[in-house]
């Protein structure tokens, strides 16, 4: 157990929820940055909520936004974290073509705002940047730490800026700042418009007779899909090393979208060809065809290894959807008190 304090941006996202669980288990006090919304957006971390009046509470939430640098500086000063995990981003590749300017503001410049806030407050904290395999884009696999970058979307370009500004603050100011270059990682908590979750949800609903058809875009794209709950462990390990460095985190395996669809439907004894239809609106103006990560550095230095691969991931996600359907609730929405109450009182 540790008495360390962590600050997580993007705590309400898929990875933020798994990372919070991991750090709380390790004894950390965890502070999360939550965007103000007109509806409650904390469903992925509701199960971690404890009444803030309880002296044993170690999870605290604060309103904030990566587009607001002075707020980030205030929060750092208030929280005095040992570790900062920057997971916040406009993270949807297709959406980044529709909203390139907002994506750049949040995903690229937001990183500079946070790093600059750390530099200005002079905190001796360690910094994790959520970099992405999208930065490799058109460069053929396998991709590793020294593979040339060739991003194919406004999101990929914004992440590449964030990657380099992180390295720049490490080199220029001696900040302990690392890039985790994570390949696709999924879970039952994945956002519903990413392809794996969209497929798991639809296949389960088709099996239950709630819908007939699933519309998808490019089935030929290949991805290196891992399990999010395992990937947050790699994030933490990166910040426990003596020296800051950058690491690829991946399974080293590649499957097509079609493969993932087939595994998901087959798990329900369905033939996907009877239900999946093409809709061009899900195509991207430029596609990333093939991602396969070489994570041997993470294995050698961090001792990190993946266990779950795409076929098992598909089954695991479908099982979670079946379970949620039988309880008539989303898999990420447990019926417990909400930390939104804490925020509502601010």
Catalytic residues: 132, 134, 155
**DSSP-assigned states of every residue in 68-134:** -HHHHHHHHHHH--SEEEE--S---HHHHHH-HHHHIIIIIIHHHHHHHHHHHHT---EEEEEEEGG
Give the whole-angstrom CA distance, residue 280 versus residue 331.
29
**Which entry of ligand NAP, ligand GDD, none binds 210, CB below 5 to 8 A by partner kind?**
none
**Which entry of ligand GDD, ligand NAP, none binds 195, CB below 5 to 8 A by partner kind?**
ligand GDD
**Which entry of ligand GDD, ligand NAP, none binds 203, CB below 5 to 8 A by partner kind?**
none
Give the whole-angstrom CA distance, residue 99 versus residue 207.
35
Residue 90 touching ligand NAP (CB under 6 A): yes
Residue 71: CB minimum distance to ligand GDD, A: 24
Considering only residues 184, 196, 204, 251, which one is a binding residue for ligand NAP as defined by CB under 6 A? 184
Considering only residues 5, 6, 7, 16, which one is a binding residue for ligand NAP as defined by CB under 6 A? 16
Give the whole-angstrom CA distance, residue 63 versus residue 267.
41
Q: Judged by CB, which is closer to ligand NAP: 41, or 241?
A: 41
Considering only residues 5, 6, 7, 10, which one is a binding residue for ligand NAP as defined by CB under 6 A? 10
Give the whole-angstrom CA distance, residue 273 versus residue 23.
42
Binders in 99-128 for ligand NAP, by CB under 6 A: 106, 110
Alpha helices in 179-309 (DSSP H): 195-207, 228-238, 257-266, 296-297
Residue 166: CB minimum distance to ligand NAP, A: 12
How many residues lie near ligand NAP (CB under 6 A)? Answer: 27
Binders in 143-172 for ligand NAP, by CB under 6 A: none
Backbone angles phi, psi at 208, to 5 degrees: -85, 0
Cis peptide leading into residue 142 (ω within 30°): yes
Alpha helices in 178-335 (DSSP H): 195-207, 228-238, 257-266, 296-297, 310-327
**Which entry of ligand NAP, ligand GDD, none binds 93, CB below 5 to 8 A by partner kind?**
ligand GDD
Residue 130 touching ligand NAP (CB under 6 A): yes
Q: Judged by CB, which is closer to ligand GDD: 49, or 272?
A: 272
- Residues forming contacts to ligand GDD in the complex (CB under 6 A) are 91, 93-94, 132-134, 183-184, 193-195, 198, 216-218, 221, 223, 257, 282, 284, 287, 291
């Amino acid at each position: 157990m540790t008495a360390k304090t962590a600050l997580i941006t993007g705590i309400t996202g898929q990875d933020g929820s798994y990372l919070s669980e991991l750090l709380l288990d390790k004894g950390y006090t965890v502070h999360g940055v939550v965007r103000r919304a007109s509806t409650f957006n904390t469903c992925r971390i509701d199960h971690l909520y404890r009444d803030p009046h309880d002296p044993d509470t170690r999870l605290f939430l604060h309103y904030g936004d990566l587009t607001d640098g002075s707020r980030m500086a205030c929060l750092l000063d208030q929280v005095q974290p040992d570790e900062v995990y920057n997971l916040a981003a406009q993270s949807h590749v297709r959406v980044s073509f529709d909203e390139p300017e907002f994506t750049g503001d949040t995903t690229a410049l937001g990183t500079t705002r946070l790093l600059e806030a750390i530099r200005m407050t002079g905190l001796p904290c360690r910094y994790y940047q959520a970099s992405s395999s999208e930065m490799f884009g058109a460069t053929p696999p396998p991709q590793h730490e020294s593979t040339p970058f060739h991003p194919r979307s406004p999101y990929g370009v914004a992440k590449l800026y964030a990657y380099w500004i992180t390295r720049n603050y490490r080199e220029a100011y001696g900040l302990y700042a690392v890039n985790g270059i994570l390949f696709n990682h999924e879970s039952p908590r994945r956002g519903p418009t990413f392809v794996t979750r969209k497929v798991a949800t639809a296949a389960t609903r088709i099996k239950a007779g709630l819908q007939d058809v699933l519309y998808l875009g490019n089935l030929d794209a290949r991805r290196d899909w891992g399990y999010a709950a395992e990937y947050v462990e790699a994030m933490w390990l990166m910040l426990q090393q003596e020296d800051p460095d950058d690491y690829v985190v991946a399974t080293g395996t590649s499957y097509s979208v079609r493969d993932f669809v087939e595994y998901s439907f087959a798990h329900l004894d369905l033939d996907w060809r009877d239900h999946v239809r093409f809709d061009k609106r899900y195509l991207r103006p430029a596609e990333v065809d093939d991602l396969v990560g070489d994570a041997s550095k993470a294995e050698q230095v961090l001792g990190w290894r993946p266990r779950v691969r795409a076929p098992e991931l598909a089954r695991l996600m479908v099982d979670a959807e079946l379970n949620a359907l039988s309880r008539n609730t989303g898999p990420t929405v447990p019926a417990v008190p909400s930390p939104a109450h804490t925020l509502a009182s601010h």
